[in-house]
Structure 1
Amino acid sequence: MRRILTGLALAGAVLAAPATAQTTRQQANEALFQQLQKVHRLSEAQMKEIRRIFARSAVIGQGNPAISKHPMTPEQCRRRAPDYANKRFERICGAKYMAPLYDPRKERPEDAKACIDQFEFPDIPCTYPVVWVKAKEAAEICAAMGKRLCDAHEWEGACAGALEPPDYPFGAGSVAAMRAIHNRKYEPTKSWAYGPAFQRGICAQNSTKSPTCNGGGYNRCGSNTYPTGAFPKCVSKLGVYDLHGNAAEHMNLPMAPDQMASRGSRKLGVTEMKGSWFIWDKYRAHPDWCRWRAPFWHGTRVMSPASHENYHLGFRCCKTID
Structure 2
Amino acid sequence: MRRSLLLLASTLLLACSAAPPEPAGRPPVAGPPATPPPFTPGTAVAASGPSASPSADPGPAPAPSASAAAEPAGPASCPADMKLVEGEYCTEVEHTCKKSWFDKSNKKTVCEEFEPTARCIGQKVKKRYCIDTYEWPNVKGERPEVMNRFHQAQMKCAAVGKRMCSESEWTFACEGPEMKPFPYGYVRDAAKCNGDHPWDDPNMKAVAKRDPKELARLWKGVRSGSQPQCISDFGVADLPANADEVVSSEQPKNSRRGDFDSVHSGGPWYKGVRNQCRPKIYTHDEDFYYYFLSFRCCGEADGKPTDPRTERQIQDGWSLQKVERRAGFTLDAIKEKLELKKQGKCDCSDKDILCKTMCGTLLGPGAVDATH
Question: Any idea what the Cα deviations from partners look like across 1:13-51, whole Å, max 9, x if unmatched?
Answer: xxxxxxxxxxxxxxxxxxxxxxxxxxxxxxxxxxxxxxx
What is the TM-score of this pair, normalised by structure 1? 0.51
Across the aligned residues of Structure 1 and Structure 2, the Cα RMSD in angstroms comes to 3.1
Aligned to 1:66: none
Aligned to 1:319: 299
Task: Work out which of the residue numbers 267, 271, 274 in structure 2 matches 1:287.
Answer: 274
1:228 Cα deviation from its structure 2 partner: 0.5
Question: Any idea what the Cα deviations from partners look like across 1:174-212, whole Å, max 9, x if unmatched?
Answer: xxxxxxxxxxxxxxx761111112112111236666x56
- SS of 1:130's equivalent in the other structure is coil
Q: Structure 1: where are the runs of 5+ without partners?
A: 1-55, 59-87, 106-110, 164-188, 258-267
Contact 2:176 2:183 in 1 (8 A): yes
Contact 2:87 2:128 in 1 (8 A): no
Aligned to 2:250: 254
Alignment of 1:265-280 (within 5 A): 270-279=261-270
Structure 1 pair 254–115 and aligned structure 2 pair: CA distance change class (3 A): same
Aligned to 2:191: 201
Contact 1:158 1:238 in 2 (8 A): yes
Alignment of 1:73-88 (within 5 A): none
* Aligned residue pairs, count: 186
Structure 1 pair 89–123 and aligned structure 2 pair: CA distance change class (3 A): farther
Bigger radius of gyration, 1 or 2?
2
Alignment of 1:111-260 (within 5 A): 113-162=128-177, 191-205=181-195, 211=200, 213-214=202-203, 217=207, 218-219=210-211, 220-221=214-215, 222-256=218-252
1:162 Cα deviation from its structure 2 partner: 2.9
Structure 1 pair 148–57 and aligned structure 2 pair: CA distance change class (3 A): farther
Structure 1 pair 229–207 and aligned structure 2 pair: CA distance change class (3 A): farther
Task: Work out which of the residue numbers 75, 91, 96 in structure 1 matches 2:76.
Answer: 91
1:308 alignment partner AA: F
1:125 Cα deviation from its structure 2 partner: 0.6
In 2, Cα distance between the equivalents of 1:57 and 1:232?
38
- SS of 1:245's equivalent in the other structure is coil
Structure 1 pair 90–269 and aligned structure 2 pair: CA distance change class (3 A): farther
- SS of 2:87's equivalent in the other structure is coil
Aligned to 1:69: none
In 1, Cα distance between the equivalents of 2:84 and 2:141?
21
1:90 Cα deviation from its structure 2 partner: 4.2
Contact 1:190 1:289 in 2 (8 A): no
Structure 1 pair 311–89 and aligned structure 2 pair: CA distance change class (3 A): farther
In 2, Cα distance between the equivalents of 1:112 and 1:292?
20
In 2, Cα distance between the equivalents of 1:129 and 1:315?
8
1:269 Cα deviation from its structure 2 partner: 5.7
Structure 1 pair 205–144 and aligned structure 2 pair: CA distance change class (3 A): same
Aligned to 2:290: 310
Structure 1 pair 126–103 and aligned structure 2 pair: CA distance change class (3 A): same
In 1, Cα distance between the equivalents of 2:288 and 2:162?
21
In 2, Cα distance between the equivalents of 1:202 and 1:148?
28
2:187 alignment partner AA: A
1:140 alignment partner AA: M
In 1, Cα distance between the equivalents of 2:165 and 2:235?
16
Question: Any idea what the Cα deviations from partners look like across 1:217-274, whole Å, max 9, x if unmatched?
Answer: 13334333211111110011111111122210110013449xxxxxxxxxx9611001
Contact 2:268 2:275 in 1 (8 A): no
In 2, Cα distance between the equivalents of 1:256 and 1:116?
24
Q: Which has the higher helix share?
A: 1
What is the TM-score of this pair, normalised by structure 2? 0.45
- SS of 1:319's equivalent in the other structure is strand
Structure 1 pair 145–193 and aligned structure 2 pair: CA distance change class (3 A): same
1:288 Cα deviation from its structure 2 partner: 2.9
Structure 1 pair 248–208 and aligned structure 2 pair: CA distance change class (3 A): same
Contact 1:90 1:97 in 2 (8 A): no
In 2, Cα distance between the equivalents of 1:235 and 1:99?
12
In 1, Cα distance between the equivalents of 2:223 and 2:198?
15
Question: Any idea what the Cα deviations from partners look like across 1:97-136, whole Å, max 9, x if unmatched?
Answer: 211111289xxxxx96311111110111110011001011
Q: Which has the higher strand share?
A: 2
1:154 Cα deviation from its structure 2 partner: 0.4
2:268 alignment partner AA: W
In 1, Cα distance between the equivalents of 2:225 and 2:196?
14
In 2, Cα distance between the equivalents of 1:155 and 1:237?
13
1:96 alignment partner AA: A
Contact 1:131 1:223 in 2 (8 A): no
Q: Structure 2: where are the runs of 5+ without partners?
A: 1-28, 32-72, 90-125, 254-258, 305-372
- SS of 1:102's equivalent in the other structure is strand
In 2, Cα distance between the equivalents of 1:190 and 1:114?
20
